[in-house]
Chain A
Amino acid sequence: MNSLSIWTRRDFVRIGLASAGAASAWAAIPGTARAAGGTVNFADIGVGDPGGDWSLFTKAANGWNVNLVAIGNAPSAILNVLVAGGGTASYDVINIVGGMQKPLVDNDLIEPLDTTRLPAWSRDRNVAEFLGKGTPGFNFIGYQDKLYGVPTVLQGDSFAFLPEKTGPLDSYAALFDPKFKGYVALEDNYTTAGQKTALYLKHANLAKIENPADMTPEELKTVVDFLVEQKRKGQFRVIWSSFQQAVDLIVNKEVYVIDCWEPMVFVAKSKGVNAVYADPKEGYLLWAMAAYLTKNPKRSAEATQAAYALLDFMLGGWYGAKITLLRGYMTNTDAPDYAKAHPDQFPAEGAEKVAAITANVHRKFAQGGTWQNRWPKHVDVYETEWARFKAA
């Protein structure tokens, strides 16, 4: 939709008045605040962009705009942007896969959130249901009892398979089943593939692992020893490291079982491949994206208010429905109702899709599993052990 098309004459009058007011205020505020005035700088990993359309936010936030900048999702990329790249001054809000508050807070990179400034916060039932204090999900938005992130996306990962080649599958055991030797792919990521393997080993009583989400060095060594053994037997075809690579592996039927993300299955299906995203009995690898307010003492009160307005907007129905539709993830509890109630913005088919995706992810969270841990206690050991697996 053209952002100008939804403007009415009244909007123009309002914007005209607002502009006059802003011009007066402009002269009164300090130079640094003026420089950022009117734009919320929003760093995102490629999931939080509602197709470039921020017009409803601009309308709701008295003319403030959003400048979206894409950043990488790897913890190092995020920390490099914020620490070495001066990102706390460049960005007001960062929207990333949560769970790495420890390095972000310990290095003074993000602010605790004041939920009284977020009217939509109390409406989002996902927070109380899955991300509340004292639950593992809280680690995706909070740290040491303080809240830092607004949940923007929730998802549960498992693996995909081609039923015509494998038959029905309902366990991570399929990834290590000799029947599929040479036709299995894993993600090149110790916090996903490594953790799913740990979940499988724990449930199958093949290893003593207390918490697959935060393993001790000994537990991790057990997991990697198992993976090395599987690798040497020729179980895996490849380990993938990009969205396109994983989609190609499924679409070209290069592998029959693949540890991957659900949107890859959506893409494969859209290309005519009958791929199924598994519902494993061991549960899912659960994760959430969170939007954080960066710590910038020089940010003006107006800019902070606008950043809060953006966080609140991201908890709203329109944004949630748009992201669910575009990316295939559950967002907030307003999203399905909003899409259904606004056929002018979300045609019936789209609203049904939003409701179906939300219900499916909600079911996954209800079933449970293990929460992904983006920054485990022994993260260096994870990296070293994963390097050992790859080099073996």
Chain B
Amino acid sequence: MLRRLLARWAFPALPIGFAVVFVVLPLALTIAVSFWTRVGLVVRPAFTFTSYEAFFAGARLLVFERSFLASIEATVLGLLLAYPIAYFLAFKVSPRAARTVLLLFTVPFLVNYIIRAFAWTWLLGRTGLINTLLMASGLTNEPLDWLLYSDVAVLIGLVTSYMPFMIFPLWLSLSGIDRRLIQASWMLGAPPARTFLRVTLPLSLPGVFAAAIFAFVGCFGESAIPVIMGGVGYQMMGNSIASAMDVLNYPLAAAISTVVLGAMMSLLLVWYLAFDARAFLGMIVRPGK
């Protein structure tokens, strides 16, 4: 009896225990600290909304809004670029070629993300390669200032950093679509565009949403790209949290983190309610069916 119970619960207990210790407890502690009070350099347990008031009344709310908008822009742009790539890899090339291309998309991640951001500054700066080429070709008379230290630069940095992350779930989702459904659509006379809009796209939506979440969450918490490529004082939520930590204001940092966590959890809830995650995961274990 005991052995059966152990066999039944031992395996799930491991991941559940791991999640509780390393995910749930730290998050719960973060939420708790956000209501604590700070006395000198130490924080004391309390129940006060002071940190939330400081967040919603101050400049950090602007940072939240900016992070939200920039993350949406980067996610949408990333999807527009990643979807065709994933579609091509899933339907138009051999599995071997697809694997090779996917492997190539992991190469940038072998380079430190700060070095990658610095590399962009050398390309996009006033005396960088792109401006030099533009001026040498006569397309512009003077360097384009907005290529670097601007919202555009941050968008370039975010899209190029997170777009490869989007390709993988999209490719998985598209690869898992039952080809017979697409063939049936053709056989019933639907043109390719209609087949795509009525069959392929809806069936790939779990992957689209997963990709969007990967990118959105990553962009929202990004801290290196805004600092290295953004304009004067460009900040996203990661920078705002770090700034509060600089003066050891842990309750404020925890309150900002809690607000971000709430926003992210809401998105995940929408995903959970809108799509059957098992379908997406099922496709992962049964590719090409």
Contacts and interface: CB of A to CB of B under 8 A. Distances in A.
B32 interface: no
A383 B233 CA distance: 13
B71 to A, nearest CB: 16
A252 B247 CA distance: 33
A391 B237 CA distance: 11
Given A245-B228, A254-B126, A389 B58 contact: no
A254 B123 CA distance: 12
B245 interface: yes
A390 interface: yes
A103 B247 CA distance: 11
Nearest to A182: B145
B206 interface: no
Interface stretch (A3-11, A23-31, A73-81, A310-318): A73-81
B44 to A, nearest CB: 14
B138 to A, nearest CB: 22
B244 interface: yes
A252 B232 contact: no
A238 interface: yes
Contact of B60 (A76, A245, A382, A387): A387
Nearest to A230: B232
Contacts of A76: 245-248
B232 A239 contact: yes
Contact of B243 (A182, A244, A248, A387): A387
- Main SS of chain A's interface residues? helix
A386 B246 CA distance: 12
Contacts of A248: 118, 121-122
A104 to B, nearest CB: 10
A133 interface: no
Interface string B212-241: 000000000000000110111111000010
B27 interface: no
Contacts of B161: none
A379 interface: yes
A219 B63 CA distance: 24
A34 interface: no
Contacts of A380: 247, 249
B189 interface: no
Contact of A239 (B118, B233, B240): B233
A331 B60 CA distance: 40
Interface string A231-243: 1000011110100
Contact of B125 (A106, A252, A391): A252
Given A182-B145, A252-B127, A391 B247 contact: no
B41 A107 contact: yes
Given A387-B240, A392-B59, A392-B233, A238 B149 contact: yes
B235 A383 contact: no
B41 A391 contact: no
B69 to A, nearest CB: 13
B62 interface: yes
A384 interface: yes
A151 to B, nearest CB: 25
A229 B40 CA distance: 33
Contacts, number: 90
Given A252-B126, A383-B249, A390 B233 contact: yes
A220 to B, nearest CB: 14
Contacts of B288: none
A253 B122 CA distance: 12
A388 interface: yes
Interface string B132-156: 0000000000000100110000000
A389 B62 CA distance: 12
B235 A391 contact: yes
Nearest to A245: B228
A379 B247 CA distance: 7
Interface string A207-243: 0000000000000000000000001000011110100
A392 B121 CA distance: 23
Contacts of B145: 182
Which of A244, A252, A253, A390 gathers the greatest number of chain B CB atoms within 10 Å? Answer: A390
Interface string A244-279: 110010001110000000000000000000000000
Given A238-B231, A391-B233, A252 B128 contact: yes
Contact of A389 (B228, B233, B245): B233
B118 to A, nearest CB: 7
Contacts of A252: 122, 125-128
Contacts of B227: 188, 241
Interface in A188-212: 188
Contacts of A238: 149, 230-232
A387 B249 CA distance: 14
B127 A253 contact: yes
A106 B59 CA distance: 30
A292 B248 CA distance: 21
B175 to A, nearest CB: 41
Nearest to B145: A182
B239 to A, nearest CB: 8
Interface in A298-320: none
A83 interface: yes
A236 B230 CA distance: 12
A100 to B, nearest CB: 11
Interface in B1-55: 40-42, 54
A12 B88 CA distance: 71
Interface in B232-268: 232-235, 240, 243-249
B125 A254 contact: yes
Contacts of B248: 75-76, 79-80
Given A107-B41, A253-B126, A390-B232, 7 more contacts: A80-B248, A103-B41, A231-B232, A248-B118, A254-B148, A387-B243, A391-B235
7 contacts: A231-B233, A237-B232, A238-B232, A248-B121, A252-B126, A383-B247, A390-B234
Pick the 6 closest A-B CB pairs, nearest first. A390-B233, A391-B59, A388-B59, A238-B149, A383-B247, A236-B232
